[in-house]
Structure 1
Amino acid sequence: MSNVNFEHCRNAPHLLIVTILFVLTLFVHSHDIFAQSNQVIQVKAFSEDLTVYPNLSLSINKGEFVNLNDKGMVFVNLKSSDLPVQSIKPRDESLEAASWNLSKGVLEVIIRKKSYIDKPIKIISSNGSGIEGIEVQFRGDKSISKQTNSAGIISIPLGLNEKIKSPDQFKIPGYDILKFSNEELVLISVEKITSKVEAAPQIVEKQSNQNRAKKETGSSFLQIDTINSLRSFYNLLNTIQRENLSQNDQLQLDQKFDELLTNITKGNNADSIDLLAQISDTTIVENDINKIFQQVMKDNTSMSKQRLALEEKIQMVIDKLNAGFENMSEESKENLLDDIEELESTLRNNKNELNENLNNYLRVINELKRRFFDLQELESRLSESERERKKEREIYRQRLLITLGIVLLFAFLIILLFYFRSRLKRQKAALIEANKVVKLTNENLENIVFERTFLLHKTFKELDTVLYKASHDLRAPLSSIAGISDLIKRETNNNELTGLLFKTNKRMDKLLKKLSTVSEIHQPGEFEQFDINIISNQVIASFSQTIRERGIKFTSNIDAQDKVLSIPKLFEVILFHLLENALFFSWIDNEKTGEVDLKVSIQNDNIEISVTDNGMVIDNSIKFKIFEMFYVGSEYSDGNGLGLYIVQKSAELLNGTVEVNTNSQGGTRFIVKLPTDGKGSNTLEFLSSLNV
């Protein structure tokens, strides 16, 4: 039975992993399936100055009202069929949606105060029922043309200070207005025109109210062929007795009326295509601008046609005047002159009004352009808001996934807890025993490390002592050899032999001095404040005789006014061996005068030593070897390969660096940088511990 439970424990993690993967897959795909039928939209409301509009209630696509929070935002679910958004209506009747933009899941709405009110108009027949599908034209601050709905109702936008004053502001083609009631719901009772001649006075009366032309009169029934307007036709009817007309005259009257009515109907149809009336709050801006442009072009064409027709009629009047001016009486001439002057005054007034209207139109266009650029700026700011919202949404999604992962991780850990519980019990005794072994081993290791470290310290100190003793004790026999060589020279006068002895003795003494220096840098002393100028000048002075004997052009620039914190012994060793190296290699080339330049300065809390010579060029292949112990890089060198090694080791003890730069035309520069922070390397700490 226990074996069966153990097998279940072994399979539990695998089952958990499969379950987690299934849940995650279901979560992801269910999100995609839901997104196909519904989309979560974030709605944000702003005022016209782009400040947040809080606590607002909106209806999208004539749906239910949703309430925005105090930050002017809310999340709603919209079906794919509801996109793009067709209409947005605030619950507050004094507000309206000026514009809206849906981008990347965010619907941003600009809210403004209404500059108009919607006035309902109902067109009814004589029996009180609404008339559907008829055109109603309204002339107010702006001209509007709409068709009635199934209930016979239209809605006309009126300015806040605009009112409907009289039924003359309405025109319903094919209908007579019988009654007019200006209440909260404007009721207009109409009757369809059925008789031609009987309806003529009413049509002419409405026509006269619109164009307000001067009354024209006809002379007799014989002038019927010259009549081209219903007003003239109506004046003709008032001058004749209809009951005395013959059947042929009556037929001629009917034909003339049909002709005039047909012309009016065509004109009304052309005029009824009011492009401006097709612009509403729900139409597309690009189409609205196109309709305005078409209307302007249409008006321009109409004005051109009217101008040509007017010029033609004026020319006709001039021709008539030329032909009959002599037969006119003085009174008629005076009346004609008065009419011409009145016509001129009217044309001037029309010109002023036309210019004023044109200026008004230009101001409106400029305002439209300004609003366009404002909307461009708004779009830019809304795009920035969209990027921030997308970032916030991504952070929210990541946090949601992290939270889900943590929950699943805890569930996984709980199952693992039961799984490992049995194993921990079995391993408990083994771990206790292993801990004892590890503890004993650690104790042994500590003892071994202590013993090895002690032996290392002791061995290093002994080697350093041997090096120090050897370098000092061997110099005494060398001094004796030098004295014996001098005696041999005096007794035998063998300069060649004694010269070799002196040269060998000198090289040996130089080697012992270098070894002594290597031993000394292992005990360099403590960090202290010292004057760079003093030590630098002392080192330069030690080479003054060499500089004179070899004829070397030596220049120096010690730019250090204040004392610095470092180990003076190491600074002196570095400077000495750099100068020794430069003075030798700039001298061995007999074809040119040796030149050595020394610069010491403080740069960025570092002591910077720069030594430049014009001697042999160091080949790139041996640059990394010249700092090795006992490495001699040139066959002309009389050294032992310890000078640059000492420079490198001394700089490393101070956490400094050494750079080598060569010139292809001859010359080498060594740059040493030593920190002045009073801290040494780990090697220096180790050497200090040996001295202790």
Structure 2
Amino acid sequence: MIVEMTRFVFLLSIFFGIHTQQIVAQDSVNVQVKVYDIELNTLPEVRMEVENSIEFTTNSSGLAFIKLASDMLPPKHIESLSNAFEVEAWNYSKGILEVTLRQRVTKYIMVRLIDQKENVLVGITTRIPKYDIAEVSNSNGELLIGIPVMASLLVSDFNIQGYDVLKLTGRGNEIEVTLDKVLDKPQMQEADENISNIPQDVDMEDVSINKLDSVNSLTVLYSIIKSVDYKQLNPDEKFALDKKFNDLVQSRAGNIEGNILVDPYIVTDNSVLQADILSLFERVEQETNLLDLNKEKFETYTKLIAEKIENGGQELTLDQRKQLINLILKLRRILEENEEKFYRNNQLYKSRVDELLNNLANIYELEDMLIESEEEKQQLLHQFLIVMLWAALISSIAVLLLYLISVLRKQKKQLAKANKKVRDINENLEDLVEEKTVSLKMLNKELDTFLYRSSHNLKRPLTSIRGIANIASMTLNTEANDLFDKILSTTTDMEKMIEKLTMINHIHQPVDYQQLDLFVIINRVLDKFENEIKEFDIDCSIKIQEGLVFKSYPYVVELLFLNLIENAIFFSRYTTEERPKLKIKITSFSHNQIKITIEDNGSGIQEDVLDKVWDMFFIGNELSKGNGLGLFIAGKALETLEGKVEIETKYGYFCRFVIELPEIKPGATKLSLENEVVESR
């Protein structure tokens, strides 16, 4: 009941988050991280990273504790390092960072386009038909693509018009793609289709292989190529022709690429908010730069056209002048329409930006309201938990007092029964009287020791609880969690000790004599120490002779195994070998007798304390964390079962308990303990 009350208070504190503390040490803050899936189930053993610098892994409860610099709060970037999950959302408030993850279906790879001289390629449209991807490289030659988690990229996956993909280098989330430009003369085909569109004012007779400097159009160049026999040209003419073609192709490609707005970032439902706004900022800057570039080009072109009109305008016919005037007027109308569109678009952009600012302001206002509400709620819960703490402490003290009274009454009744049996013995049976007198003296001595030490050990936890309660009355804020932990720890220790003391009463009154399944009993005992076995990676070996039949008192036999195995598991962790080991072996010998061997490779027992290990409350090793009742209870169980035991040990290396148990008859509880200690050299 004590433990249940304490657990109730402890669980309440966990539920309302009181156990979490925010400790500020200089410029760092302790933060508790809780990681959930979409259905709000905790996710254990997940690797995460905060602000590209702080890595951590959640424990079995989906929790982690990290230290962050105060300027990192609230976090602006959180990433899952697990291949199975990606970040859905996160929220930080009062020292608690809650992160929601979802199943990862897409992984993102940063692709960097370079040529054979390792120059970055800007504005290149890259297609991966296999995944329906089409992206344009940014000013750094980079583009971000998303592919299925289990997929990988090959050279054959890329389709980049005008380029051959030579190789892929790099691994993980960053790769480089080396390209080689292919001159498949697409512009030549375009010129062939539009050959009829050659300007009428171009005198083809004045244009020849020797006057290529005056050619500034692929269409004109194509007409020259079709009019000559390429095989008849000399090497210099072929070189000049090829050079002119490459210059015109590169000039046209440059003009096209120069007018592309590079937008390598795509705003989606899954993209990061800060990066979304930065992408808008970058696009506005690109549009501004493009406006400045077009302005410079427009001014240059209009000046050149004005000079041409001044120099050759008088040679134009009246129809040609009217045609030019109509074109210029049409150009003016288009500019006026563009001015209106630009104004409307600019007003729309400004209104959208104002909406974003209002949304952010509303979010901050709502967050402040939630924080105020949470503070009020925490204060009320804190007061409620203080009341519950006092109630739990008072209840615990009352239960402990009732238990002490019950134990004293029970021991008093047992003592009265023992005295009555002594008085009822026939006075003529002197030997029996002497035996019972010795047994009674031993029982009285053990009872006195038990009552004294039990009173002392039960009083010590009560004193601790009382001290903790006094401290709680003075520290009612963030230290409540530590107080609850101490209360729980103290109560748990008390429960273990009381359980040990209860075992002693059961040993003296065995019941349910029956045939035993030793394998089931041993495994039931090992299950109680499952956590310790896993934590310290203890190698457990059980060997039981096949067909073994043995009858006895199951609970007393289980107590014998429980205390000896508990002792072996605890001290095996201090082994000098690579791995702790526990060996249990059971065989039959003689008639209806079994031999039990329990061995560990731990610290062993010192020779000078071997004759005291069976004493009540004796602790023979400074590493021990028990209460000195384990081997005492095991010894009492052996007395009830009329067994014998030998201890074989070498300090610092191993300890082996060799036990012989006879098959006693129901009702026979002769108490005898024969100890023989053998030290192995």
Same fold (TM > 0.5): no
TM-score of the two chains, using structure 1 as the length reference: 0.34
Higher relative contact order, chain-length normalized (CA < 8 Å, sep 6+)? 2
TM-score of the two chains, using structure 2 as the length reference: 0.35
Larger Rg: 1
Higher normalized helix content (fraction of residues): 1
